[in-house]
Structure 1
Amino acid sequence: MLSITDLHVSYGGIKALRGIDINIEENKIVTLIGANGAGKSSTLRAIMGLIKIDEGKIKYDDEDLTNHKTMDIVKKGIVLVPEGRKVFVNLSVEENLILGAYTRNDKAGINKDIEEIYKLFPRLKERSWQKAGTLSGGEQQMLAVGRALMIKPKVLMMDEPSLGLAPLLVKDIFDIIKEIHSQGNTILLVEQNAKKALEIADYGYVLETGRLVLEGEGQKLLRDERVKEAYLGEAK
């Protein structure tokens, strides 16, 4: 469905990605794990056309999307929930959701989908009139996910969705990811909470300083001694 081949990205003279290959199959949860600076967010930003690619190819259903404009990539159904939520703080919850549907012009469908988002996130319905900037961190994360779903994505990419959240809310966010996946969505998940990410992932990739060092089924990586020691806080 979405494939990345020999991807190289640099910022100035610093290499962020050094020839990685990733494949995201339809209706799967795929996760990228690794330490800060490993290249996880750079991978998502490259897919979305937010940074220029030095070398490599990004294909979606065999169509080359390498260095396409972000708007064109979104129109293909590839959507990013960015790190740090990035909600429109001075707009209401509902206005944020409406803006999420900016590529659409089916008003009845948009209204229907807003109600579906409210079913998925009842707290957002309770706060539909409230400015997004007054929401808690967990509620803002729910809004960021809901806003992305308004585009009706085929591939939903999420950058550190649990970052900065209390443990109980982290569980809620991962439950929501599983629910979204159960509705037929393909998900590419970047997470520092490697244990939680691998527990729900069909497949995982481990990045270190811009290179892929391990890959495999999520449950297999959970049992890998190298992953346990480096990312799960478990000694050999």
Structure 2
Amino acid sequence: MLTISNLEVSYGGINALRGINLNIEENKIVTLIGANGAGKSSTLRAIMNLVKKTEGTVKYDGEDLTNLNTMDIVKKGIALCPEGRRVFENLTVEENLILGAYTIKDKALIDNEMNKVYDLFPILKERNWQKAGTLSGGEQQMLAVGRALMVKPKVLMLDEPSLGLAPLLVRDIFEIIKEIHRQGNTILLVEQNAKKALEIADYGYVLETGSLVLEGNGKELLLNDKVKEAYLGEAKTVDSEQKKGEN
């Protein structure tokens, strides 16, 4: 469905991405995990043509999107919910959602999509009059996801949706991601919470300093010793317990 080939991005002579190859199949959850600075967000931004690619191609259902502008990529059915929420703080919840539908001209269709967002996030319907800047962090994240859904994307890309949220809200966000997937959306998820991401992913990729170092089934990556040690903290815990037993 969405194929990224030999993707390279440089910032001021520094290679942020080095020959990235991704394949996101239709109606799957694919996750991209890695440490801060690994290139996860740069990958999503390069797909949307928000940063310049020095090499590589982006194809969607066989169509080359590499040099399209961001709005045209959105019109093709790909949407990005950015890291840090980035809601319009001085606008209401409803105004934020309407702005999310900027590629849609049919008011009835906009109203229909808004009702779908409200069904997914009832709290947003209750607060549709409220300024986005006065919402809690979790509510702002829901609004950011809802805004991305307003363009009826076939591929929804989520950049660190659980960042900065309390544990209970993290659980809620991942349940919402699963529900969005059940409704027929393909999802490309960038997430620092590797355990949660891999638990719901059909397939996963591991990025380190701009390069892909591992890929595979989400459940298989959860059991991978390197992933456990680097991103889940499990292997180190086992080692320390063993040392305690030896003393």
TM over 0.5: yes
Greater alpha carbon shift after TM alignment, 38-47 vs 63-72: 63-72
RMSD: 0.7
1:198 and 1:218 in contact (8 A); partners too: yes
**Counterpart mapping for 1:23-102 below 5 A:** 23-102=23-102
1:16 and 1:210 in contact (8 A); partners too: yes
Instruction: Note the C-alpha offset of 1:105.
Output: 1.3
> Does 2:129 correspond to 1:129?
yes
Q: What is the aligned residue count?
A: 236
Superposition misfits of 4+ residues, deviation over 2 angstroms: none
The TM-score, its normalising length taken from structure 1, stands at: 0.99
Q: Deviations over 1:57-82 (max 9, x none)?
A: 11111111113211111111110000
Instruction: Note the C-alpha offset of 1:108.
Output: 1.2
| 1-structure distance, mates of 2:166, 2:220 | 27
The DSSP-based 3-state class of the residue aligned with 1:214 is: strand
Partner of 1:142: 142
Instruction: Note the C-alpha offset of 1:126.
Output: 1.0
**Counterpart mapping for 1:1-236 below 5 A:** 1-235=1-235
| 1-structure distance, mates of 2:218, 2:145 | 23
Partner of 2:245: none
- The structure with the largest alpha-carbon Rg is 2
| 2-structure distance, mates of 1:146, 1:137 | 14
Instruction: Note the C-alpha offset of 1:190.
Output: 0.1
Gaps of 5+ in 2: 239-247
The TM-score, its normalising length taken from structure 2, stands at: 0.94
| 2-structure distance, mates of 1:111, 1:41 | 31
| 2-structure distance, mates of 1:158, 1:113 | 19
1:38 and 1:207 in contact (8 A); partners too: yes
| 2-structure distance, mates of 1:116, 1:184 | 13
Query: AA paired with 1:59?
Result: K
The DSSP-based 3-state class of the residue aligned with 1:226 is: helix
